[in-house]
Amino acid sequence: MNIDKRHLLNLSILIPYLMLSVIGLIMVYSTTSANLIREGSNPFYQVINQSLFWIVSLAAIFVIYRMKLSFLRQAKVIQVVLIVEVALLVISRFFEPVNGAHGWIRFGFIGLQPAEYLKLIIVWYLAHKFARMQPEIRTYDYRALTKGRWIPNHLNDWRLVSLLFIALVGTLPDLGNATILALTVVIMISVSGIGYRWFSTILLAIVAGSTALLGSIWALGVEVVEKIPVFGYIARRFSAFFNPFENETGAGLQLANSYYAMSNGGWLGRGLGNSIEKNGYLPEAHTDFAFSIVIEELGLVGASLILALLFFLILRIIIVGIRARNPFNAMMALGIGGMLLIQTFVNVGGISGLIPATGVTFPFLSQGGNSLLIISIGIAFVLNIDANEKRVLLVEEIERTMT
């Protein structure tokens, strides 16, 4: 039956997305305009750039929402996307590093960040793989994912593909996105249909491994880790995590000033545009530490309302996944919701000192067109999935009524 998708649009996801996007544009202007004015540049430059990405994002949402999900499930389409992503990650190694990581491909004022796109691609790929394995998973549980082998022995093994991408991103080196990728893979494994006890085991292993890593770095000393090739800048971030005020003008500069920003904000904030720390004191105030400026300007109350709106959006996405009857649809929605939740946790944890800073942007509020675009594409996937699930239920209800 021909049911127009326009009538099946999930406004409880679209409206929070639009609200957060607009708030994000406002905060991008607030966090970037002061530095641009000091440089003698157009104060609207970054917000215009972000707005252009948002326009492209809205167009992408419209196109993807109208697409048939059967096209997105085709193995050849996913294979082409994976090959292109590998090529982009390799090419990015030949461009100048940004903040110590070779994660950007730049053509004039346009920049692509392949690692950002990979976060959604890995969800898409694993949802496709695990959906095709559902009969085996129902019968053999986790053994269906490993095929009885703990070590992958062919190139099409999802574990080998996942490890390859995480390794490529980690050697850029981009610790933040590599961490998000690894945790996203864990989420996809957890929602694949295996027994819940495996999720508990994996979670315990992650906590134990993270504790052991931090303990080892603390015991050996950051100076030892800093001598390891490529990972020197990561060691400096661990140094800031252990004691940001010990080297407040060096490794601890960002985290210490992030604390100052949050302290300045208090309950109600200094007012929109009135941040002190963004005026040259807090590096990356418009990207990694944008939420610190949000707290300084809007206070704990304003920042909490934005977090609540973001968590509401994530919850609605997860609910779509829980309600979906098609395995691919369910895992795509749950993976996208989990990816957003992880990115939020990693960013807020980094700016507050709960975990080492990883250079991960805050969804919507940080300046970064690539991040906004990939979030928008993820939202488009979920809207399409929700509409298709509703259509199937509606058709079944109509058929029952007619019979």
CA separation, residue 321 to residues 18, 64, 127, 192, 391 (Å): 21, 18, 12, 12, 15
> How does residue 385 score in pLDDT terms, banded at 50, 70 and 90?
very high
Model pLDDT, residue 177: 86
Average pLDDT, the chain: 86
What is residue 231's predicted lDDT score, i.e. its pLDDT? 54
Q: What is the mean pLDDT of residues 238-249?
A: 70
Other Cβ atoms within 10 Å of 210 Cβ, number = 13
> CA nearest 364: which of 4, 13, 26?
26
3-state DSSP call for residue 207? helix
Confidence of residue 345 (pLDDT cuts 50, 70, 90): very high
**pLDDT of 392:** 86
pLDDT digits (tens, 9 = 90+) for 163-188: 999 988 888 878 788 889 999 999 99
Would you state the pLDDT for residue 111? 77
Judged against a pLDDT cut of 70, whether residue 227 lies above it is answered with: no
Give the pLDDT of residue 109: 67
**pLDDT, greater one: 84 or 110:** 84
Q: How far is CA 280 from CA 222, 286, 294, in A?
A: 27, 11, 16
Question: Which is higher by pLDDT, 212 or 261?
Answer: 261
User: What tokens appear for 214 in the block?
Assistant: 């931090």
Per-residue model confidence (pLDDT) at position 264:
92
Averaged pLDDT for residues 338-343: 94
Q: In the chain, pLDDT over 90 holds for what percent of residues? A: 44
- At 247-278, the pLDDT tens digits run 666 667 888 888 899 999 999 999 998 999 98
- pLDDT at 323 exceeding the cut of 60: yes
Q: At what angle do helices 369-402 and 114-132 cross, to 10 degrees?
A: 30
pLDDT at 22: 96
Identify the pLDDT of residue 68: 87
3-state secondary structure of 282: coil
With both helix axes pointing from N to C terminus, report the angle between 45-66 and 369-402 in degrees, rounded to the nearest 10. Answer: 20
Using pLDDT thresholds of 50, 70 and 90, give the confidence band for residue 232.
Answer: low
pLDDT at 285: 84
* Span 52-106, pLDDT tens digits: 999 999 999 999 999 888 888 888 999 999 999 999 988 888 888 776 677 788 8
pLDDT at 230 over 60: no
Report whether pLDDT(305) > 90. Answer: yes
